[in-house]
Structures are given as C-alpha cells and as structure tokens.
C-alpha cells in the first residue's frame, strides 16, 4: 500500500512535468500546425537555467524554500527564445510539413551543442532544495513535498491556461485562429502577433517544466532529445492539438511509467508505447482528438 | 429493355436526425445520359457519393452491374468499371500527363501492382496512353507535368485519366464548372464524343447549367429535400413548368428560396 | 536522357571502384559508410521522395540490420556476408510488418510522429533487454567472409579498404539498380500518384494504403541491409543506431542530396559523411554547424545538392531578366 502511494506520487510528479511540455507542444500545434521537435530543447534549457539561477540564489543565501517561484521564473525566461525562433519558423509556415519538421530538427541539433557550450556535458543539479522541503508521511508512505508542490504548480498552470483560453479575449482570438487561420485574419486578427505569442507561451511552458525538475533530478544535455519521445506519446494518446488530451495523456504516461518501474523496470517505455499503439488502433485521433477529415 | 447498369432501390441516408436522402429509387440503362439536378442542399452530393460507393446508404440498396456496391469504395468501383470526375479539378501535380493517364490504364489492365515491370518498355501501355490523350487533344503536352498545364488542360486530363479506366459508367460532377461559358459546349462535346469512343455505356451528369442539361441529357432526375421530385425524359422534364420552376429555377419563384 | 543517366551511373561506379589506391587507407575508410547509408537512404527516399511520407523512425531498420549482423556472425557463428545481408533484410521486413501495418494508415505529421514513436520503442527494447541485446553495450559484429573467401592474410583495415569496400560498392550498385526498377514500375507510379493526390489515385483504382504499406516494407528491407553493411566496419551493433535523432540524420542526409532525384540519397550519403568529417575536425561543437547547414538547406535549397544547378540557373536567369528589363518586372 505504501509502495503504491509512493509510486502514484512519483507518477503524478512526472505527469505534471510532462503536461507542461505537452501543453506547449499542443498549443503550438493547435495554432501553427507545426510539430515542434525542439520542445525538448526548451525543456532542457529551462532545466539548465534553473540550475544556474538556483545555484546563484542559494549561493547568495536565498532560502531554499523560495526555490519554487525562483525556478518557475528561471524556466519562464526561456520564453525569450520564443520570438526569434518563431520568426525563423515563420519562413516555413506555408511549406510542406516535412520541411517544418526538419527545421525544428535543425534547432534540436543546434540547441544540443549550445547547451553543451554553456553548461558542459556533466549532469548538474540544484542541491539542497529537495531535502529542504522535506517529506510528508501518508500512512506508511513518504512523499517528497517538492513533488507535491510541482504537482500543485502544474495544476495551477493548467487551470490558468484553461481560464486564459476560455475566458479572455486573447484566448478566444487564439482559439479562433486555431480553428480557421484565414477567417481570423479576415476578421482583422493580427495572426502574426498571435503566432509569436503562442509560440512564446509554448516555449515558456516547456522551460518551466524543465526548471521544476532540477531539484529532483540532474539536468543532462541528452534530456533534450529524450523528452521528445515521451511528449509525443502524450500527444498521440491525448490527441494532437487538444489541451484536455495533454492532461489525460500526461497522467496516463506518467503513472504508467512509474507503475512499470515498480513492477518490471524493463517495460518502462515499452508499456507507454503499448498504450500508444492501443489508442491508435481503437481511436486513431487520440482520446480527445478530432478525427482527421 | 436491357437490365440497368446502375440501380438504387429506396435508398435513404441520414446523418443523425438530418435526412439527406429519402426513398430514392432510380435506374440507369445503357445509352442514357442521366442528369441529376436540384437546388443546393437537395442531396445531390450525398446521392453521388452513394452511387459511387463512397457512402453506405442507411436504407435500401445500390447495385452496379448486378453487384452490391454499398460503401464499396472508389478502388472497387474503379475495378468494376465506374469512373468519376470531380467538380474541382483533380490532377497529380508532379506527374506528367502521360503518367496520369497511365495510372488509370494500368489499373484497368490489372497491372497496377507490378513492382519490377518497366513502364518505359511497355509498348501496349504507351499506345493506350497515346490513344486516350489523342481523344482529349492532350498529345502535345503528354510529357509535361500536370502543374504546368492550363486550367482547361488540367480539366481534360482529369477526365482523360478517368476514361483510361475504360469505364462502363462515368459520373461527371459539374464537368464544366470553372470553365468560361463559351467553352462549356466545347468541353461537353469532347466529353460525350470521348465517352462514345471509349465504349462508355452511360453517363451520369451533375450539372447546374440548364442549357447543357437540355442539350446533352436524355433523362433528368430532379432532387429536392433529399427526395426525387421528378424522373423524366429530358423533353418531358422541360415541358413541365411546375417541375422546372421548382428544381432549376428557370422561372423566378414567387416565394423567397434559399 | 536514359543513356545519360546510365553513363553517369557507370562513371560513378568506376570512379568509386578506382578510388581506394588513390585515396589511401584513411580516406577510403571514411568512404565505407557511404555505401551502407546510400542503400538505407535509397529505401528511405522510396517513402520520402516517391511516397511523400517522412519517416522519423527509419533508423530502427538500420539498427535491426546491424543487430541481425551481430546475431548471425556472433551468436549463430555463420560467417557468410551473403547470409548476413539476407538475414538483415528478413529482420527489417519482420519488424516492418507490424509497424508498417499501423503506420501506413497515416500520412504527413502523424506518420512522422508514429514512426518516431515506434523507432524509440525498438530502441528501448534494444536498450533494456540486456540479456538478449547486450543493452547499452550493444553486440559485437564479427568479420564476415565474402563469397566464401576469408581473406585471412589481410588485417582488419586491409580487409575493409580492400575486398569489403569493393563488395559493398557492388551490393550498393545492385540494390540501386533494383530500386531504379522499382521506382519506374507501375507500383512506383502508383506510389507517386498517391503522394500527389490520394483521393484521385483511389478513383483511378490505386489501392493507396496497400501501396504505402508495400513501400514501407521495401524501404525497411533496404534500411536493414544498409545497417548490416554499416555494422561490419564498426564491428558493433548498439542501441544508439535506433535513436530518433539518427532517424532525423537519415532524413537530413536525403534532403542534403536531394529527395526529388533518384541519385539524391546516394549523393547525400557521400556529402554528409564528408561534411561531418570536416566539421568534426573543425570544432567539438559540430552539431551546431550541422544544424545550421540543415536549416539553410530547408530554407534556401530544399531540392538539395541535386537541385543546386537548377536553382542557380533560375537565379541567374532572374538576374539577367531584371538587368534586361528597364522597369521592374511584375511578379509571375
């Protein structure tokens, strides 16, 4: 029982982070119709910015308990890359999807080395934060408070994102643009501005996801390409472009991985992809996706 | 009378609560050119999709040359001998005109799957492609990619590739849409002549242009609200003022119509 | 035109056959992967250039071929390279049957994502099932015999830059010939037709999904044979071969050469191998430069090296027209 609760907690922590990355991926796909292979690169950059900011702040005597807001800010700083990268992608909006995909792959290659240039290849972590927050006792199970905070932060961001998309004018404009680019443009929507904003938001989400992990797990350059694989599983299961899909997909993948690690570690990713295949066979558009026309 | 080529019996098609087609029974016999007319939303597209095996009817049945084709799909239909040309021009942008025609000709010959046979060395295929191209006046552009052809040539190529299937029945969905009025009769004349030469036994025509319907159809099926309002020989159809007013709006209707 | 292509192909094969003594050992070793990659990319481009399907999982077949080579030579102790190549093709097909059955239902972005996902599934199988695959250590590929000849008197390098080089050249040439036939067959025409307009193709009797599936199988077999050819010089089959970034690199190589031309993938394999070697000698951050090159190709020269002459000609003609016209010419 205790083991089960611990696995559940670990799975939800993982799911929370995955959701942030996948939400960014879904936003950008939903509006721009571009599948961003570099989403993992933004995640890794967020992680390294978190390492640097965390190291500096803690070195300057900041209380580790302030790490959460600090890391969220550090991760969100990746958003600065959003506008220039979007500017580059804009050159291929009307090109074949394969070229869009390849351009984001070029970004993956470049960011991989930029990260190496900035931070080297050694694993890096923010020390001390994870322990400072301690653990809570739930029956016989011990759950790190940090994990719960990250989960809460992800839920808050998900809620905020939902409100933003449903209730604000800009959210409505964004959804309208996703629905019909040309129609939105003819109604006077500045689609260029919407694209830049959406891409920047997506970048920030990925960055925050990366930054929130560094107290718990070390940042390594390889994470940039590893994460893409899980994020893709999330969006395939949930349905491309769907926000509720990102939420459900992230929960499924996060919990499945944690569960597989407990039962049969070899099956980790295999279990995730078994579900991907099952979803594709039964609901090709994903759990929350609209079937392709 | 010889047995019908294409036949529907009490076909209905619903989308949820919306009834797109109701109780449609019709037969197409050899030698006929049947025009399907009706206002927008009358169910023409649904009927055409049922007739070409794309949609499975909710009620009734549809047969082509005696076999049930409900939802059979375009590939099966092409194999059985029914071809379809679309309202919007459909070509393969990067394929040459000759290659486009060859796709249909190879399928018709049952050789479309071969992996090691050389296209270039296939004399019979080349002869067939040239024969079809000649009918449509595409000889001079045979080796140009479709994207380089004029809009009119693309239209002809679209139809020519369908004729390469040697179809028994061909369905032409507004074959002259997007073509200048002056050329419409020219295109229709080419098409009907080609159909005769290719051994097509019956034509189905979905057409808004009443002039063309009156000139080329032998029979007119009028749809409205998903039902067959009239199924008459072309003369009788145009002689009936009430029917023409309701279906093709030749006379201004008294009430406002959508 | 056809005669020209044949002549160019013969000239290329002759030049490559004569190259080893002129290039010396190091540069000849450098050329070895060109054959393996060339074969794998011919397969990839059947899907990409001819079928319009961009696979981000093709590396799984390259890996399958490499592991097949390891199993045949290392576990079964069969040394014949002909047997290795057959086993690799069989392994590629066996893997492609289930994967292709699922992926052939999709196109475009979905196809790319799915192939990526399956590639990573295979990677994690190779990586995690230590007992079967050696995990991250990979599996050793032992030196094979060629046409039953052992070449015992040659050391490893002499074997690779000598008999193995010419053998791979011959295999690559034969498989290129086979692919040349395939893309010029009715099947190849159907594949291009469904790429351009799947709906129209169906109405002309093309079984679109079946066509894609068969192309997927052929492409996988080529990928696996290429993988086996690549594994002999390195002597190793390791899971990183199946990683999705390797798949991305394969697509990159094809694009570099030119996906719209039959010879594009072959030229791409050669150009990429040389480019990577050069960039690696310049800086440890060669991926950054490689990424920049890829971005540049995507943006400025999507037809790759094969399309470069046409691109330059068009640019030149446009400049000349501008110079000749007294007023700015209207946009076409």
Domains of chain B: residue spans and CATH:
6-248 (3.40.50.300)
Is A285 at the interface with chain C, CB within 8 A? no
Residue C47 CA to residue C58 CA, distance in Å, equals 10
pLDDT over 60 at B252, yes or no = no
List the one residue out of A41, A5, B248 whose CA is nearest residue B257: B248
Of C121, C252, C298, the CB nearest to A273: C121
Structural domain boundaries in chain A:
17-223
The confidence score (pLDDT) of residue C331 equals 44
User: Which is more confidently placed, B194 or B29?
Assistant: B29
Looking at residues C177-185, what average pLDDT do you find?
95
Looking at residues B64-83, what average pLDDT do you find?
90
Residue C249 CA to residue C247 CA, distance in Å, equals 5
List the one residue out of A207, A233, A196 whose CA is nearest residue A41: A207
Q: Indicate the pairing of strand B67-68 with strand B18-28.
A: unpaired
The neighbour count for residue A118, using CB atoms within 10 Å, is 12
Chain C touches chain B, with at least 3 Cβ pairs below 8 Å, answer yes
Residue A54 CA to residue A62 CA, distance in Å, equals 9
pLDDT over 90 at C330, yes or no = no
Instruction: Determine the distance in angstroms separating the CA of C185 from the nearest CA of chain B, rounded to an integer.
Output: 5
| pLDDT tens across the length of chain A (293 residues) | 778 888 888 899 999 999 999 999 999 998 888 889 999 999 999 999 999 999 898 888 888 888 888 999 999 999 999 999 999 999 998 888 889 999 999 999 999 999 999 998 888 888 878 888 888 888 788 888 898 999 999 999 999 998 998 899 888 888 888 888 788 888 888 888 889 999 999 999 999 999 999 888 888 888 888 888 889 899 989 988 888 899 999 999 999 988 888 888 777 778 888 888 888 888 878 888 765 43
pLDDT in tens, B195-234: 888 889 999 999 888 888 888 999 999 998 888 888 889 8
Are A102 and C255 within 8 A, CB to CB?
yes
Chain A residue with CA closest to C126: the answer is A266
Structural domain boundaries in chain C:
25-246
Query: Residue B1 — very low, low, confident or very high, per pLDDT cuts 50/70/90?
Result: low
Q: Indicate the pairing of strand C236-237 with strand B59-64.
A: unpaired
User: Which positions ≥6 away from C293 have C-beta within 8 Å?
Assistant: C256, C275
Chain B residue with CA closest to C189: the answer is B103
The confidence score (pLDDT) of residue B96 equals 96
User: Which positions ≥6 away from A104 have C-beta within 8 Å?
Assistant: A34, A35, A36, A37, A38, A89
Candidates C183, C204, C215, C219: best to mutate against B (most CBs of B within 10 A) is C204
Residue C117 CA to residue C109 CA, distance in Å, equals 12
Residue A149 CA to residue A151 CA, distance in Å, equals 5
Q: ipTM of this predicted complex?
A: 0.89
List CB contacts (< 8 A) between C206 and chain B.
75, 103, 107, 112
Is C180 at the interface with chain B, CB within 8 A? no
Residue C296 CA to residue C56 CA, distance in Å, equals 20
Instruction: Determine the distance in angstroms separating the CA of C119 from the nearest CA of chain B, rounded to an integer.
Output: 27
pLDDT in tens, C242-283: 999 999 999 999 999 999 999 999 999 999 999 999 999 999
pLDDT in tens, B133-147: 998 889 999 999 999
Cα separation values, B143 from B159, B165, B168, C291, Å: 17, 20, 28, 38
Chains near B (3 or more Cβ pairs under 8 Å)? C
Instruction: Determine the distance in angstroms separating the CA of A111 from the nearest CA of chain C, rounded to an integer.
Output: 7
List CB contacts (< 8 A) between A276 and chain C.
117
Are A277 and C299 within 8 A, CB to CB?
no
The confidence score (pLDDT) of residue B255 equals 38
One-character DSSP codes across A113-181: HHHHHHH-SS-B---SHHHHH-EEEETTEEEEHHHHHHHHHHHHHHHHHHHHHHHSHHHHHHHHHHH-H
Q: What share of chain A is helix, strand, coil (3-state, %, to 5)?
A: 75, 5, 20
Angle between helices C165-183 and C186-196 (to 10 degrees): 70
Phi, psi of B230 (to 5 degrees): -150, 140
């Amino acid at each position: 029982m205790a083991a089960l609760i611990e696995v559940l907690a670990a799975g939800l922590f993982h799911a929370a982070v995955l959701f942030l990355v996948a939400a960014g991926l879904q936003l950008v796909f939903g509006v721009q119709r571009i599948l961003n292979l570099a989403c993992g690169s933004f995640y890794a950059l967020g992680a390294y910015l978190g390492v640097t900011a965390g190291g500096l702040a803690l070195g300057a005597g900041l209380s580790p308990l302030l790490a959460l807001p600090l890391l969220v800010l550090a991760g969100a700083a990746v958003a600065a890359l959003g506008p220039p990268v979007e500017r580059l992608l804009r050159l291929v909006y009307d090109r074949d999807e394969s070229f869009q995909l390849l351009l984001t792959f070029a970004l993956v290659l470049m960011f991989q080395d930029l990260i190496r240039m900035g931070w080297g290849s050694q694993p890096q972590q923010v020390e001390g934060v994870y322990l400072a927050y301690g653990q809570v006792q739930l029956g016989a199970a011990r759950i790190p408070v940090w994990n719960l905070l990250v989960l809460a932060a992800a839920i808050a961001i998900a809620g905020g994102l939902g409100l933003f998309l449903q209730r604000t004018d800009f959210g409505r404009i964004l959804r309208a643009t996703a629905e019909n680019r040309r129609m939105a443009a003819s109604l006077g929507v500045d689609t260029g501005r919407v694209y830049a904003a959406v891409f920047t938001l997506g970048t920030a989400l990925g960055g925050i996801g990366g930054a929130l992990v560094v107290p718990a797990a070390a940042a390594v350059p390889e994470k940039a390409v590893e994460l893409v694989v899980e994020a893709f599983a999330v969006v395939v299961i949930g349905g491309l472009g769907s926000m509720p899909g990102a939420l459900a997909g992230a929960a499924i993948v996060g919990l499945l991985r944690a569960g597989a690690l407990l039962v049969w570690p070899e099956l980790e990713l295999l279990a995730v992809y078994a579900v991907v295949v099952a979803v594709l066979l039964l609901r090709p558009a994903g759990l929350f996706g609209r079937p392709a026309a | 009378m010889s047995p019908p080529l294409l036949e529907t019996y009490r076909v209905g098609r619903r989308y949820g609560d919306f009834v797109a087609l109701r109780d449609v029974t019709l037969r197409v016999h050899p030698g006929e050119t049947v025009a399907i007319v009706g206002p927008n939303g009358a169910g023409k597209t649904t009927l055409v999709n049922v007739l070409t095996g794309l949609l499975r009817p909710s009620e009734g049945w549809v047969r082509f040359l005696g076999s049930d084709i409900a939802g059979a799909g375009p590939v099966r239909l092409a194999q059985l001998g029914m071809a379809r040309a679309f309202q919007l021009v459909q070509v393969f942008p990067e394929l040459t005109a000759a290659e486009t025609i060859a796709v249909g000709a190879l399928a018709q010959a049952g050789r479309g799957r071969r992996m090691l046979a050389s296209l270039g060395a296939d004399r019979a295929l080349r002869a067939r492609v040239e024969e079809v191209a000649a009918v449509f006046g595409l000889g001079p552009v045979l080796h140009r990619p479709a994207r380089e052809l004029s809009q009119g040539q693309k239209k002809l190529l679209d139809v020519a590739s369908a004729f390469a299937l040697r179809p028994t029945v061909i369905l032409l969905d507004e074959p002259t849409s997007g073509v200048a009025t002056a050329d419409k009769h020219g295109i229709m004349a080419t098409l009907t002549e080609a159909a005769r030469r290719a051994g097509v036994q019956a034509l189905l025509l979905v057409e808004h242009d009443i002039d063309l319907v009156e000139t080329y159809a032998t029979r007119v099926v009028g749809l409205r609200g998903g039902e067959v309002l009239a199924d008459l020989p072309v003369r009788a159809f145009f002689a009936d003022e009430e029917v023409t007013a309701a279906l093709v709006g030749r006379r201004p209707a008294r009430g406002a119509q959508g | 035109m056809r005669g020209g292509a044949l002549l160019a192909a013969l000239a290329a094969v002759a030049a490559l056959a004569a190259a080893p003594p002129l290039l010396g050992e190091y540069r000849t070793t450098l050329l070895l992967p060109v054959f393996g990659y060339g074969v794998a990319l011919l397969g990839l481009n059947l899907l990409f250039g001819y079928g319009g399907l961009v696979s981000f999982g093709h590396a799984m077949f390259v890996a399958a071929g490499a592991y097949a080579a390891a199993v045949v030579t290392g576990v079964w102790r069969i040394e014949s390279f002909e047997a290795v190549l057959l086993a690799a093709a069989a392994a590629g097909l066996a893997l492609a049957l289930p994967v292709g059955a699922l992926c052939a239902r999709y196109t475009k972005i979905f196809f790319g994502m799915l192939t990526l996902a399956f590639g990573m599934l295979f990677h994690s199988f190779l990586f995690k099932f230590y007992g079967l695959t050696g995990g991250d250590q990979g599996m050793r590929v032992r030196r094979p015999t060629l046409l039953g000849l052992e070449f015992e008197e040659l050391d490893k390098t002499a074997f690779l830059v000598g008999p193995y080089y010419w053998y791979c050249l011959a295999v690559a040439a034969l498989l290129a010939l086979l692919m040349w036939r395939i893309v010029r067959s009715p099947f190849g025409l159907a594949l291009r037709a469904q790429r351009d307009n799947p709906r129209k193709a169906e109405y002309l009797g093309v079984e679109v999904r079946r066509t894609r599936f068969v192309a997927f199988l052929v492409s996988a077999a080529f990928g696996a044979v290429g993988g086996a050819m690549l594994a002999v010089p390195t002597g190793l089959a390791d899971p990183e071969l199946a990683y999705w970034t390797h798949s991305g690199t394969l697509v990159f190589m094809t694009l570099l050469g030119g996906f719209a031309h039959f010879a594009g993938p072959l030229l791409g394999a050669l150009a990429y191998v040389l480019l990577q070697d050069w960039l690696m000698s310049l800086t440890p951050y060669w991926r950054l430069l490689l990424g920049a090159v890829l971005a540049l190709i995507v943006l400025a020269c999507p037809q790759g090296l094969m399309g470069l002459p046409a691109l330059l000609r068009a640019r030149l003609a446009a400049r000349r027209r501008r110079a000749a016209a007294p007023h700015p010419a209207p946009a076409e």
